[in-house]
């Protein structure tokens, strides 16, 4: 009987006809995404039409296409989007293109271009499926571009899945290799579980606020004190969900295994781009959606940041595999960015500082990490392994590689005048700007961790310079394909230049906090 | 409006799903447990959507639920493909046996 009345009331509601008017669409604001979509479709079409003959040109098409996406990004920048944000759909706050999202879109495009440079020989020489590889890579990047502008729970969710689902497949790309299978399965199960938890949190926030638009959620959860439990659980579950994506401790366990088993270019992509997209999502959430509830998200992010920095660094100390070492080093670096995010809720000024610090960190981290992975890729073409022992005496048979790797490691450790020091410096300024005791505690922890990190970066560097080269493989001069040389050159120049002349980064990364069109936090 | 009953049902489903993900060894059963969590989310969205509509809010939670159903289908497709690959390579889908990578 109860059920019948319920069905009757539902049926009564269902017949209401809601008129739908298509909101005006700002095509210029959507041009980067649409261009990328067209490039992805083109790569897939080339595969379908030309079959085997298309394989040779698909990396070139994907790479040139990615650079073409930079054109609408530049025209948007020239159009003054940074000072005058545009909404893609009428006046709705769902999809905003501002300076912040534009910088991150450009960053994701450049990262993807470097990953394609790294992949070209790796994928062509292995027995892999080439065209699908580039098509999936591009659709994952499309998810990242959407994430940078998403200011709505549904859009954030769809963007997250659009970037994750192709990444699950790419991690499993070497499908006859048990390690790659395992890497993909672990990434998939952890990722899907994380998005399920995040969705449950989103459903609670939707219940508490009655809307999916982040600005309105902010207004709703800031004003009602009635359902604090609901809001707290919602915010914590959403942060946990993205915590998996950025491999924050204690949700980092998938990262080393996935990085080790996945194809190395994809490892670099996951370590830099997928992690970056997770941070972009967290920033959208914190700065736009949860802004009024710093009492909830600040402690959660503080604990995550402290654990992530410390556990990541301590575990990295006892790794024998270079890729696992890079995985834990990446976990520790994520801790620094989380630290800047944890203090953001103090005031608008601090939020401004920490948003710039995180974007700066993401840009510099991308340059130095992609560089280190390029060298691992180049050296393992000869050695066939990523054991730290295979880097012994690298200077004797590949001196250029040893010098470049030393620079990247020094940058990761934060030694001036390389890029990494400026990234760490900007996080420290944000923490000091926070000016509360727990921000200073976090800064102290970060300083201790910087010192711990010298341990493993320094050990690796000294082994490259002072150990004898192993006899397991030939140690005549290493030849590196042109695509890898290009990737190495770009990342090396960026890493050094960003450190010597940080204004190159800050010119772009001093973004306004990703606020709403109407109500700035 | 029977909001509490729906929320109770969804939280029970959520807990069963999380328990299943954490203790099940069979990869397919883990996938099914994840589906349970997603269905708990869908129930939440539809219930909150109906409840909020009674309060006068215009945003339909059902739309979000439809998005979740569609995306979850894509996700499970990828997951089953992965399980199938692993079954071909090792004749087992026990996820506790998938432990080559350690350290």
pLDDT in tens, A57-71: 888 999 999 999 999
For B9-90, the fitting CATH number among 1.10.287.3510, 3.40.250.10, 2.30.22.10, 2.60.40.10 is 1.10.287.3510
Rounded to the nearest angstrom, the minimum Cα separation between B75 and chain A is 7
Name the pLDDT band for A520 (thresholds 50, 70, 90): very low
Alpha-carbon Rg of chain B, whole angstroms?
17
Using the Cβ of A203 and the Cβ atoms of chain B, whether some distance falls under 8 Å is answered with yes
Cβ–Cβ below 8 Å for A185 and B83: yes
Q: Tell me how many residue pairs between chain A and chain B have CB atoms under 8 A apart.
A: 129
Using a CB-CB cut-off of 8 Å, the residues of chain A touching B100 are: 178-179, 182, 261
CA distances from A150 to A66, A87, A97, A361 (A): 21, 11, 9, 21
Q: Is the pLDDT of residue A27 over 60?
A: yes
On whether the CB atoms of residues A506 and A360 are closer than 8 A, the answer is: yes
In this prediction, residues A260-271 reach a mean pLDDT of: 94
Query: Predicted confidence band at B57 (pLDDT cuts at 50, 70, 90)?
Result: low
Taking the CA of residue A270 and the nearest CA in chain B, the distance in Å comes to 17
User: CA dihedral in degrees (A311, A422, A143, A343; nearest 10)?
Assistant: 60
Point out the residue among B40, B50, B75 whose CB comes nearest to the CB of A192.
B75
pLDDT > 80? residue A476: no
Please state, in angstroms and rounded to a whole number, the distance separating the CA atoms of residues A414 and A365.
11
pLDDT surpasses 60 at A15: no
Interchain proximity A188–B82, CB inside 8 Å: yes
Q: Which chain B residues have a beta carbon less than 8 Å from that of A183? A: 101
Looking at the DSSP assignment, which residues form a beta bridge with residue A150? A95
Q: Is the link from the previous residue into A250 a cis peptide, with omega within 30 of 0?
A: yes
Chain A, window 134-163: residues with a beta carbon less than 8 angstroms from a chain B beta carbon: 153-154, 157-158, 161
Residue in A176, A203, A211 closest to B41 by CB:
A203
Q: Find which of B2, B64, B94, B96 to mutate to test the A interface (most A CBs within 10 Å of its CB).
A: B64
Predicted ipTM? 0.95
B-chain CB neighbours of A321 within 8 Å are 103
**Nearest to A296, CA basis, from A234, A352, A248, A354:** A234
Nearest CA in chain B to A201: B41
Q: Is the pLDDT of residue A225 over 80?
A: no
Is residue A385 reached through a cis peptide bond, with omega within 30 degrees of 0 on the bond before it? no
The 3-state DSSP class for residue A402 equals helix
**A13, A153, A204 member nearest B53 (Cβ):** A13
Between A178, A185, A256, which is nearest B82 by CB? A185
| C-alpha of A443 from chain center | 23
Ranked by mean pLDDT, the top range of A34-38, A222-226, A319-323, B50-54 is: A34-38
How many angstroms separate the CA atoms of A510 and A153, rounded?
26
Distance from CA of A209 to the nearest CA of B (A): 9
Sort out which chain A residues have CB atoms less than 8 A from B98's CB and list them. Answer: 181-182, 185-186
CA A508 to chain centre: 17
Nearest to B103 among A172, A186, A321 (CB): A321
User: Do the chains contact at A257 and B101, CB–CB below 8 Å?
Assistant: yes
* Closest-CA distance of chain A to residue B103, Å: 7
Contact at CB, B40 and A158, closer than 8 angstroms? no
A479 in contact with B, Cβ within 8 Å: no
Quick: pLDDT tens for A308-354: 999 999 999 989 899 999 999 999 999 999 999 999 988 888 898 99
Which of B2, B57, B103 is facing A210, going by the closest CB pair? B57
Question: Are A513 and A520 in contact, with CB atoms under 8 Å apart?
Answer: yes
Residue-wise pLDDT tens digits, A36-50: 999 999 998 998 888
Give CA angle at B39 (B38, B42), nearest 5°: 90
Interface membership of A250 toward B (CB under 8 Å): no
DSSP string, A489-517: HHHHHHHHHHHH-THHHHHHH-PPP---S
Give the pLDDT score at A140: 96
- Report CB contact under 8 Å: A192, B52: no
| Closest listed residue to residue A293, CA positions, set A225, A341, A221 | A221
Contact B64, B45 (CB under 8 A): yes
**Hey, are the CB atoms on A172 and B67 less than 8 Å from each other?**
no
Report the alpha-carbon distance of residue A272 to residue A259 in Å, rounded.
11
**Which residues, 6+ apart, have CB-to-CB distance to A364 below 8 Å?**
A411, A419, A420, A422, A423, A495, A498, A505
Contact A154 B38 (CB under 8 A): no
Which residue is closest to B84 within chain A, CA to CA?
Answer: A181
B46 Cβ contact list (under 8 Å, min separation 6): B6, B61, B62, B65
The answer to whether the CB atoms of B86 and A185 lie below 8 A apart is yes
- Asked if A179 is an interface residue toward chain B (Cβ–Cβ < 8 A), one would say yes
Q: Give the phi and the psi of residue A482 in degrees, each rounded to 5.
A: -60, -40
pLDDT band at A407 (very low <50, low <70, confident <90, very high): very high
pLDDT at B16: 96
Nearest CA in chain B to A315: B103
Identify whether the C-beta of residue A455 lies closer than 8 Å to the C-beta of residue A325: no
Beta bridge partners of A25: A89
Please give the Cα distance from A468 to A397 (Å, whole number).
10
pLDDT grade, residue A518 (50/70/90)? Answer: very low
Measured between CB atoms, does A224 come within 8 Å of chain B? no
Instruction: Kindly provide the b/e burial profile for residues A43-59, where b requires at least 16 CB atoms within 10 angstroms of the residue's own CB.
Output: bbebbeeeeeebbeebb
Cβ-based contacts of B57 with chain A (< 8 Å)? 210-211
pLDDT for A519 equals 42
CB-CB neighbors (< 8 A) of A331 in chain B = none
Looking at residues A203-226, what average pLDDT do you find?
A: 85
Helix (H/G/I), strand (E/B), else coil: A321: strand
Residue A226 pLDDT? 60
Round to the nearest angstrom and report the end-to-end CA distance of chain A: 49
C-alpha–C-alpha distance, residues A363 and A100, integer Å: 13
Could you write out the DSSP letters of every residue in A258-273?
HHHHS-HHHHHHIIII
Task: Note the helical H segments in A51-98.
Answer: 58-78
pLDDT of the residue at A428: 94
The answer to whether A311 and A334 are in contact (CB under 8 A) is no
Distance of CA A44 to the CA centre of its chain: 25
Among A400, A404, A375, smallest CA distance to A390 is for A375
- Please answer whether residues A483 and A118 qualify as being in contact, where contact means their C-beta atoms are separated by less than 8 angstroms: yes
Q: Summarize pLDDT for A75-89 with one digit per residue, the tens.
A: 999 998 888 888 888
pLDDT at residue A18 is higher than 80: no
Contact (Cβ atoms closer than 8 angstroms) between residue A162 and residue A220: no
Does pLDDT of A20 surpass 50?
yes
Q: How far apart are CA A112 and CA A106, in angstroms?
A: 10
The answer to whether residues A358 and A283 touch, using CB atoms and an 8 Å cutoff, is yes
| Phi (first) and psi of residue B94, to 5 degrees | -75, 115
Indicate the residue of A178, A196, A206 with minimum beta-carbon distance to B37.
A196
Task: Quote the CA–CA distance of A294 and A296 in Å, as a whole number.
Answer: 5
């Amino acid at each position: 009987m109860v059920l019948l009345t319920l069905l009757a009331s539902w049926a009564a509601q269902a017949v209401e006809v809601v008129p739908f008017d298509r909101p005006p669409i700002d095509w210029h604001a959507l041009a980067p995404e649409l261009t990328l979509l067209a490039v992805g479709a083109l790569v897939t079409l080339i595969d379908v039409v030309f079959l085997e003959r298309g394989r040779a040109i698909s990396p070139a098409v994907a790479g040139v296409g990615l650079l073409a996406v930079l054109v609408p990004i530049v025209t948007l920048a020239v159009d003054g989007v940074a000072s005058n944000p545009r909404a893609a759909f009428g006046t709705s706050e769902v999809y905003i293109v501002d300076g912040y999202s534009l910088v991150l879109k450009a960053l994701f495009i450049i990262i993807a271009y470097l990953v394609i440079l790294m992949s070209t020989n790796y994928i062509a020489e292995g027995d892999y499926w080439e065209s699908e590889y580039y098509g999936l890579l591009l659709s994952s990047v499309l998810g990242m571009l959407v994430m940078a502008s998403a200011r709505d729970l549904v859009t954030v969710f769809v963007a997250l899945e659009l970037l994750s689902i192709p990444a699950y497949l790419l991690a499993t790309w070497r499908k006859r290799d048990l390690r790659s299978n395992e890497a993909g399965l672990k990434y998939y199960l952890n990722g899907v579980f994380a998005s399920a938890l995040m969705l449950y949190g989103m459903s609670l926030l939707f219940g508490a606020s009655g809307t999916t638009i982040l600005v309105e959620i902010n207004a709703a959860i800031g004003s009602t004190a009635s359902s604090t439990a609901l809001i707290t659980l919602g915010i914590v579950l959403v942060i946990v969900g993205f915590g998996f994506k950025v491999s924050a401790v204690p949700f980092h366990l998938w990262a080393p295994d996935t990085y080790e088993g996945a194809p190395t270019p994809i490892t670099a992509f996951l370590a830099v781009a997928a992690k970056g997209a997770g941070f972009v999502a967290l920033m959208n959430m914190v700065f736009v959606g949860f802004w009024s509830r710093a009492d909830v998200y600040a402690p959660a992010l503080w604990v995550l940041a402290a654990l992530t920095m410390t556990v990541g660094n301590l575990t990295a100390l006892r790794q024998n595999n270079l890729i696992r070492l890079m995985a834990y080093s990446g976990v520790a670096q994520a801790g620094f960015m989380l630290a800047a995010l944890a203090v953001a809720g103090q005031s608008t000024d601090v939020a401004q500082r920490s948003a710039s610090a995180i974007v700066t960190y993401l840009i510099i981290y991308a340059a130095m990490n992609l560089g280190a992975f390029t060298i691992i890729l180049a050296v393992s073409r000869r050695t066939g392994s990523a054991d730290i022992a295979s880097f012994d005496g690298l200077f004797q048979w590949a001196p250029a590689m040893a010098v470049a790797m030393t620079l990247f490691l020094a940058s990761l450790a934060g030694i001036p005048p390389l890029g990494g020091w400026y990234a760490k410096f900007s996080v420290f300024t944000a923490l000091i700007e926070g000016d509360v005791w727990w921000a200073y505690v976090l800064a102290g922890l970060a300083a201790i961790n910087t010192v711990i990190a010298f341990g493993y970066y320094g050990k690796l560097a000294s082994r490259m310079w002072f150990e004898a080269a192993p006899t397991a493989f030939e140690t005549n001069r290493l030849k590196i394909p042109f695509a890898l040389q290009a990737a190495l050159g770009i990342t090396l120049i960026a890493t050094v230049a960003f450190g010597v002349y940080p204004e190159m980064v800050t010119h772009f990364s001093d973004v306004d906090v990703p606020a709403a069109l109407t109500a700035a936090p | 409006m029977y909001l509490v009953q729906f929320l109770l049902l969804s939280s029970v489903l959520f807990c069963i799903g999380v328990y299943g993900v954490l203790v099940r060894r069979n990869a397919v059963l883990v996938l099914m447990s994840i589906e349970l969590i997603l269905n708990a989310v869908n129930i939440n969205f539809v219930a909150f959507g109906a409840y909020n509509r009674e309060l006068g809010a215009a945003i339909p939670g059902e739309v979000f639920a439809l998005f979740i159903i569609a995306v979850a289908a894509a996700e499970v497709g990828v997951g089953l493909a992965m399980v199938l690959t692993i079954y071909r390579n090792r004749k087992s889908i026990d996820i506790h046996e998938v432990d080559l990578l350690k350290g």
